[in-house]
Amino acid sequence: SLDELIQRCLNCFDSEGKLSSPKGSQLVHMTLMMHSWVVPSQMFAHKLLTLYPQLSHSSKHTFLSRCAARQWISQFPAVFEANTLLEQTIEDLWALVRSEGEETNSPFTDTSCLLPRSPHVNVYRAPSPSMKKRKVSLIFDHMEPDEMAEHLSYLEFKNFCSISFLDYRSYVVQGSVRENPALERSVMMCNGVSQWVQLMILSRHTAQQRAQVFTKFIHVAQKLRALQNFNTLMAVTGGLCHSSISRLKDTFNLLPPDITKALSELTELLSSHSNYINYRRVYNECGGFKVPILGVHLKDLISLNEALPDYISEDKINLSKLQHLYSNISDLLAIHSCTPPFEANKDLLHLLTLSLDLYYTEDEIYELSYTKEPKNPKIQSIMKNYDQSQDGYISLQDFEEIAANFPFSFCIRKTDSCGE
């Protein structure tokens, strides 16, 4: 039960108010982070308030100095942001403490110093559908693939680090990124990068130029793979494989074999086959700095949440579920402390952000694609499979061989008949 879980956490502290073992530390940390999956935080705080009078004098000191104050408030200040009910409950707890003459000189009796209001850092601004479209930035021509991959990774990592455990909880509960600014920014940047890749290719006038841009983005993707930035890698590869690009036969015919091979390897790595088995294997082998494919791991949280109940009986919490969710979220949050193996130029970041700040509808992108390489109206649908060169024409010899296969050879030329 919730009372038993709180008591078990208290038992993890020694007489000096210190956590006695790594296992106990993990239990306390998990409980303070994950309790909101089963009970609202203000209810959890109320349990602490009602439990306090039942504790012995020494237990009260341990409970207040370590568990309630330093552990919860200092490690998870985001829980208290904009939650007046929770803050009021904590204030009531401190009032009870002071009324009993405990902790009168403790800095933790003033919750105002422990409840910082830190706004989210908006490192990527999602474009508005009504925003006037900007001209595609020429920054691409001035950046090498490695430099571009590093600056994209910088933006990606900043967005990723702004996602808190509360954001993950909100997504799991709601099943949507709506009203979740941190996750929404990450999704919008991913979509923005994918669309930008398409537009940069389609902005070139000749098939040869488009093939060159395509090749450059393959090199960007390879650098992203080396940096272990799988989320942006997915966005760039998704843009390269988008149907508005893959239909450009003239462009693809000019790609070197090593580039088409690299594209095939990337798509195989990121394939959703067997629940992203290839990506998961590679990702789990990576150490140090890395950025996961956020959508894959969000899906895992949703699956865990739906597969396991919150309670195993009327009042018994399913600790197994909380531990599994805690493990997954902790792995994601641990990446925040990694140091990226690159630096970023502020001016280039600004220009790159402007380049990503585009808005085109799918119809507009396809219209641009067909403008660059139009459909060939000269080919009747029945003849498309026989146009081996894909140039819109079938030779006379091929035509006669095709016609001979039909039961009514009405279209065979009569070369021995005068005037026919």
pLDDT at residue 19 tops 70: yes
**CATH architecture label of 132-364:** Orthogonal Bundle (1.10)
From CA 196, how far away is CA 356, in angstroms rounded? Answer: 6
Over the stretch 243-258, which tens digit does the pLDDT of each residue have?
Answer: 999 999 999 999 999 9
pLDDT at residue 157 tops 80: yes
From CA 295, how far away is CA 244, in angstroms rounded? Answer: 23
From CA 376, how far away is CA 393, in angstroms rounded? Answer: 10
**pLDDT score of 132:** 43
Phi and psi at 291, nearest 5°, equal -125, 115
pLDDT at residue 173 tops 60: yes
- 189-193, 344-348, 407-411 — which one is most confidently predicted on average? 189-193
Over the stretch 31-88, which tens digit does the pLDDT of each residue have?
Answer: 988 888 888 888 887 777 777 666 665 555 555 544 555 567 777 777 777 677 777 7
pLDDT at residue 273 tops 70: yes
From CA 405, how far away is CA 387, in angstroms rounded? Answer: 16
- Joined together, the tokens standing for residue 405 give 């296969």
Closest among 125, 120, 282, 116 to 188, alpha carbons compared: 125
With pLDDT > 90 as the criterion, what percentage of the chain qualifies?
Answer: 46
Provide the angle, in degrees to the nearest 10, between the axes of the packed helices 346-356 and 181-202: 80
With pLDDT > 70 as the criterion, what percentage of the chain qualifies?
Answer: 73
pLDDT at residue 417 tops 70: no
**pLDDT score of 67:** 53
pLDDT at residue 387 tops 50: yes
Query: Residue 389 — very low, low, confident or very high, per pLDDT cuts 50/70/90?
Result: low
**Mean pLDDT in residue range 308-333:** 92
Over the stretch 352-384, which tens digit does the pLDDT of each residue have?
Answer: 888 887 778 899 999 999 999 998 655 565 555
pLDDT at residue 395 tops 70: yes
Contact 75, 110 (CB under 8 A): no
Bin 133: left if φ > 0, else alpha if -120 < ψ < 50, else beta. beta
Number of Cβ within 10 Å of residue 73's Cβ equals 19
**pLDDT score of 143:** 83
**pLDDT score of 68:** 54
- CA atoms 228, 223, 123, 126: torsion sign: negative
Closest among 62, 73, 57 to 19, alpha carbons compared: 62
**Rounded (to 5) percent helix, strand, coil in the chain:** 65, 0, 35
**What are the domain boundaries of the chain?**
2-98, 132-364, 376-419
pLDDT at residue 18 tops 80: no
CATH 1.20.870.10 is the classification of domain 2-98: yes
From CA 151, how far away is CA 134, in angstroms rounded? Answer: 21
Is 19 strand, coil or helix?
strand
From CA 31, how far away is CA 29, in angstroms rounded? Answer: 6
DSSP-H helix ranges across 13-83:
22-34, 41-51, 57-62, 74-75
- Joined together, the tokens standing for residue 229 give 């930035």
Phi and psi at 311, nearest 5°, equal -125, 145
DSSP secondary-structure letter at 13?
B
DSSP-H helix ranges across 83-229:
84-99, 145-161, 165-174, 181-202, 207-226
Name the least confident of 22-31, 230-239, 261-270, 293-302. 22-31
Over the stretch 96-145, which tens digit does the pLDDT of each residue have?
Answer: 666 766 554 444 444 444 444 443 333 434 444 444 444 445 556 778 99
**Mean pLDDT in residue range 314-321:** 90
Is 121 strand, coil or helix?
coil
DSSP secondary-structure letter at 291?
B
